[in-house]
Structure 1
Amino acid sequence: MIFGHIADQNPCVFPAAITQALDFLRTTDFRTVQPGVIEIKGRDIYAQVLDLTTRPAHENSPEVHRRYIDIQFLAWGEEIIGVAADNVQNVISIPYQEQRDITFYQQMENESFLTMVPGSYAVFFPKDVHRPACNKNKETPIRKVVVKVALTELN
């Protein structure tokens, strides 16, 4: 997992696909974009623009992906995202859905929370269980952008 703010200069060199995704997030005015899917590099790198309302953490199921990296970016609002390493002992609530590339768990062990503010991003790899769109203090309308990066783009 990688956590940062889009305005900060990162001293690390990311793979080109992650850099391309972060550049998209950095240069797009999400106030002018409608919710939906935006292809950045076909279905290898694409963004989902979502308008959501946060909920209590216990109402959101932890999730993992196997074929894509999730880069979750908060355009506005506030949320917390639960995160933990996948120990493959978590109880599955909804088995892997290949078309959506997602497995849902009932809970996750050793969960920590990231506080997301506008401009924050978190990069979740296949071994990073995450529980997005959780209340920080109360239910809050948020706009988040989830950029999906196919693992094949990292080779």
Structure 2
Amino acid sequence: MTITSLQECVQQAHLTKPMQMAIDFLKTLDPSNPPAEGKIDIDGDTVFAFSQRYDTKEAEDVLYEAHRDYLDIQYLVSGSERMGWTPIDQLDVTQAYDQEDDFLLGKPKAEHAHTPFTAGQVMILHPSDAHAPGINLNGQSQEVRKIVLKVAIGPVA
């Protein structure tokens, strides 16, 4: 997992062509006018994004997710949340891997990290990073606007 500012992301991320497309897309965003909610096509199945709006929740109400075929690059447009994190091998799987939608769900087996995630930050999550987005920060629910980019890490079928 990498967490950084959008400005520093270019220097910290290993920039393959798909990663560069994802970062270039983020650099074009106007935080005062984020895209409408839904899927955004960038480069077919290689790079695409979802614009999201949701209210954060209590930690016990959030499941951890993990992916195999795509990296997540999450950019917080507005609001703040905590992101739960645990290594994938420390996850008790509650929903088996869904190959079509590239995710599995679960709960951590042991104590794990919670990282504040605030507007303007970028988080890059790898297949080894089980993560739980959308957890209340400072004990209060708030609305979050987020862009989640999916970057294929292998050949796209």
TM-score, normalised relative to structure 2: 0.89
- Correspondence for 2:66: 64
Moved over 6 A (4+): none
**Does the CA contact (< 8 Å) of 1:61 and 1:131 recur in 2?**
yes
**Aligned pairs for 1:11-30 within 5 A:** 11-12=11-12, 14-16=14-16, 17-30=18-31
The amino acid across from 1:43 in the alignment is: D
- Which residue does 1:36 correspond to in 2? 38
1:79 matched residue in structure 2: 81
Letter in 1 for 2:15: P
1:123-142 alignment runs, 5 A limit? 123-137=124-138, 138-142=140-144
**1:5-63 deviations in Å (ceiling 9; x for gaps):** 11336544622222321221121225141101111111110000001110011100011
Aligned-residue identity in percent:
27
How many residues align structurally?
Answer: 152
Change (3 A) 1:68 1:32: closer
- For residues 7 and 108 of structure 1, the distance between their equivalents in structure 2, rounded to whole angstroms, comes to 35
Give 1:122 deviation, angstroms: 0.7
For 1:144, the equivalent position in structure 2 comes to: 146
Aligned AA for 2:119? P
Offset of residue 91 of structure 1: 1.6
Counterparts in 2 of 1:64 and 1:108: CA distance versus 1, 3 Å: farther
Deviation at 1:108, TM superposition (A): 4.5
Partner of 1:112: 113
| Structure 1 unpaired stretches of 5+ | none
> Would the alpha carbon gap of residues 36 and 78 (structure 1) be closer, same or farther in structure 2, given more than 3 Å must change?
same
Q: CA RMSD in A?
A: 1.7
Partners of 1:8 and 1:116 in 2: CA distance: 15
Any idea what SS the aligned residue of 2:27 has?
A: helix
- TM-score, length-scaled by structure 1: 0.90
Match 1:53 to one of 55, 71, 96: 55
